[in-house]
Structure 1
Amino acid sequence: MSASEPIIAIVGGGFSGAATAFHLARLLPASASDIVVVEPRERLGYGLAYSTTDPSHRINVPASRMTLISGQDSHFADWLQQSSAIVGDVEAIAANGAIYPQRRVFGGYVESHLQPFLLSKTIRHVRSAVASVERTGEGYRLILADGGTLAADAVVIATTHPPPALPMPLKSVAGTAGLVANPYDLERLEAIGRDDRVLVVGTGLTSADVIATLDRKGHRGHIVALSRHGYRSRSHASTPADPVGDFTTLPSRSATALFKRIRATILDAKRQGEDWHPVLDAVRRQGQAIWQALPLAEQR
């Protein structure tokens, strides 16, 4: 490594951090930079979402719509066939033929594409967490949780969200035997009795994970899921449709304007007999352009 070789530090090695490292490594000339991913987990590409070992935790969109490489929509689905990663997993194939593998399989897919760059030292994995970052002249100094430091010319923040915190009304029961504060603590979840009554606080996709875990272990007690807004996760569209909506021409410069634009597009789609799903598909596909058009204050 030459003294002039810039160091790019990526904080977090889940999908976002791993994908950033992967694309930098494949697009930059050989030895153009030193790419360092700081991630406390043993393996890159899994993160919080794809490191779960529970077989009932699956991706929530068909494999044909997940990819590491934009423009190659079948990249993950093709890898599944080539790697035989779902052989024997009869529950991975839905009634309509769509494939929903276990989430850790997607983590394995991302990891497999990083491996050549890790072996060649194009990407380095520092197994630690970043405690803080300091500006030093034209560069940065990362202070690691284990006491070490790392100098970098550029820093990419690809961290996960913090662990869930107990709502204030539940602080009084913190630490009690029946309270599971971490929804991915499988040991605590599996200690719940078969006939125990369970309250799940929240009705998002994480609650679906919790209920899927309980179902897999044979739980048959009463479950109540509590939501401030009374919403549940919506199902996929019954029939596939092409994305609807253009959010990149004269892109919105405020989050409020973007929100109104999406709602108006959904209403227009409904008038034409379309559902809301293809509009949100368009938002997802155009996400990078939408994000880059927003000023920093609106991104925050």
Structure 2
Amino acid sequence: MLNPQLDRRGELIHLLTTEGLPRRHVERLLDAARADAAAGGAQPDAAPALPVFLSLPEAASADREAYAAAAARLSMLPVTLNAPAVGALAETAGALAPGVLVLRHEESGAAHCAAAHAAPGLRVINAGDGRHADPLPALALVQAIIEIKHDLTNLAVTLVGDISHSRLARSVIHLLTTLGVPEVRVAAPRTLLPEGLPQLGVRACATLREGLQDADVVIVLPLRVEQISGALLPSAREYAYTHGLTPAALAAARPDALLLPADRLAPGVEVDGDIAASVAPIEARLAELEQHLRLAALRVLAGDAP
């Protein structure tokens, strides 16, 4: 079965998911982003003068502006589109001119649908689809781990939080296993863990302490309390009691453990106030890394366009 984000020669034509993304393409994107960062803000080489179609919801205005800025730096033309309904995705993608479509959609699989019906020369970047995938923030988290830990092949990485409903968690897990991280763990209430974790090479931990024990990296996922029914999560207070990160809980990890927020965290829920205050610098660094990765993805996909 062909990977829908690769052509018949195995070259990258869309960035839809980290699942099944060959290691050489993961490393190519990371290397390109690293080179852009090393350039220190110098104007990068221009990509082919193609349009970048930005189809992101109103709530994602900051990300839309970030993609527009990345496109402009590459001398590409950002074009804002209204977010299409799921039934109109195929028609929309089939009618666009050659270029790059950056798509965020509430429906899982929306980016794959757009790629399957894309007009010739149109590349698709998945900027998040439902609970399915979100490649670039996941790549930013992995890039941050590489910056600090360097060698991924001797790490224990633990994800804490709502694994089941997080497209970012799935994307990070696939990247970690692809890049050879030997131990990937998750720690969450049982109702927030998806099925099939062993098949992904992931160990589900019964308690937070078990998940954090001697961990080298801890990735904390946000808890979308308003999106989780009472059957899955009786209360945010109960979650904070069993899985909220505190200095005492983190003492189980290695002394030099790297703590990474996967998104904005709520003090008193996912983390206590002291930890929430301490992650501001790494949040800023992750935002920088993600912008370098936006540039890398646009350049790679536009450069490989016919």
Quickly name the TM-score band, shorter chain normalised: under 0.3
Larger helix percent: 2
TM-score (norm 2): 0.26
Higher relative contact order structure (alpha carbons within 8 Å, sequence separation ≥ 6)? 2
TM-score (norm 1): 0.27
Point out the structure with max Rg over C-alpha.
1
